Amino acid sequence: MPNLRFTEKALSDWMLGNANDSDIAISSRVRVARNLQQLPFPLVATNEQSIEVLELLTDMDKYDDLQSFGTFYMLNLNDISSLDKKVLVEKHLISPSLADESHYGAVILSEDESISIMVNEEDHLRIQCLYPGFQVRDAWEKATAIDDIFEAHIDYAFDDTRGYLTSCPTNVGTGLRASVMMHLPALVMTQQINRILSAVSQVGLTVRGIYGEGSEAVGNIFQISNQITLGQTENEIIENLHSVVLQIIEHEKNARDRLLNESKLRMTDRVKRSYGILSYAEIIDSKEAAQRLSDVRLGVDLGIIDGPSTPIMNELNVMTQPGFLQKTFGEIMGNEERDVYRAKLIREKLGSIKV
């Protein structure tokens, strides 16, 4: 039986850590994409070639240096259910592509879930490191150290001019994607968000939703990441992202101060209305839940209410997703059923917290 401990709880251990600016920067992630020199990319590989990649990259005895980063577990995605794969996506431990499209995919996870090594996704190897708050530099240091461990044992597909070769041309070069998940409700409320995001796109960065490319930004949560992987060094990419995120944090703080100074009564009413709805609603869809949770998170950060802690808010963001809801209550549900159980779960979670 596969080890499914990773799908049984919503909150990853790494999310419990303290970090700077965690009221705005929820988490930081760095991912590097790599491919093997001697084998075709996963998109055109035969079944036999995909199995060869899987066996080569999941031979944990070969990569025993990984143990310096803790205990690791390997999940072969052919051995787990579609629902468990969906939960892993909702926890950002694997990509939607690995869950839905890979026939011989696997993921190697650290015990605290801060390290996720995906095999046979769009690329042969994708190394992902996650940190709470704004710690993108630390995430990069860990990702490159793990990358060095693999590179010591296998030959990467590399070109002296183009750098690391990847399935998608937009990843060629460094193969690096760094991102910071940000909660930016005040910029949305003060109608500054479009101007800020437009400026971000002018400096080689892009904005995506909570689950990356193609996903919607719900609950005022935006993922800021690098768009350029070719023509810049890894350190230049990380420092550019670091600098821009610092500026966005400052803009969000100023916008929050403005809301408190100019519209405190309206803000208080909005936050408490959302808290009341979450505490008593009998049915709530995922989009409304995300928006109401955003209001409550902001209210706690601004001192308007003594509400749920940051870990509880992070936990609720995962627990209210469709896959985790069905996993929690042990049954496959339609949309309306999920809306009923989502409301029930939120009521129970918030019931013991006094405003």
Candidates 201, 202, 197, 219; CA nearest to 210 is 219
Is 178 assigned to a binding site? Answer: yes
β-bridge mates for residue 119, sequence order: 106, 125
DSSP-assigned letter for residue 22:
T
Residue 31 annotated as binding site: yes
Compute the distance between CA of residue 244 and CA of residue 235 in angstroms, rounded to an integer. Answer: 14
Determine if residue 211 is labeled as part of a ligand binding site. yes
What phi-psi label fits residue 120: left (phi over 0), alpha (psi between -120 and 50 degrees) or beta?
Answer: left
Q: Is 74 one of the annotated binding-site residues?
A: no
Is 192 within 8 Å of 251 (Cβ atoms)?
Answer: yes
**Is 50 assigned a ligand-binding role in the annotation?**
no
Specify the length of the chain in residues: 355
Question: 210 labelled as ligand-binding?
Answer: yes
280 is in an annotated binding site: no
Q: Is 179 annotated in some ligand binding site?
A: yes
Ligand-binding site membership of 30 (annotated)? yes
Is 181 known as a binding-site position? yes
Burial of 243 (0-12, 13-18, 19+ CB in 10 A): exposed
Report the distance separating Cα 153 and Cα 131, nearest Å.
Answer: 27
Largest CA distance in the chain: 64
Q: Do the beta carbons of residue 41 and residue 191 sit within 8 Å?
A: no
| CA 350/CA 355 separation, integer angstroms | 10
For residue 179, the SS3 value is: strand
Any known ligand binding at 180? yes
Structure tokens that stand for 215 in this block: 């996903």
Tell whether 208 is in a known binding site: yes
Tokens of 307: 């509400």
334 CA to centre of own chain? 25
Q: Is 342 annotated as a binding residue?
A: no
28 is in an annotated binding site: yes
- Is 209 annotated in a binding site? The answer is yes
Q: Which residues are annotated as a binding site for ATP?
A: 27-31, 92, 126, 177-181, 208-213
Q: Which residues are annotated as a binding site?
A: 27-31, 92, 126, 177-181, 208-213
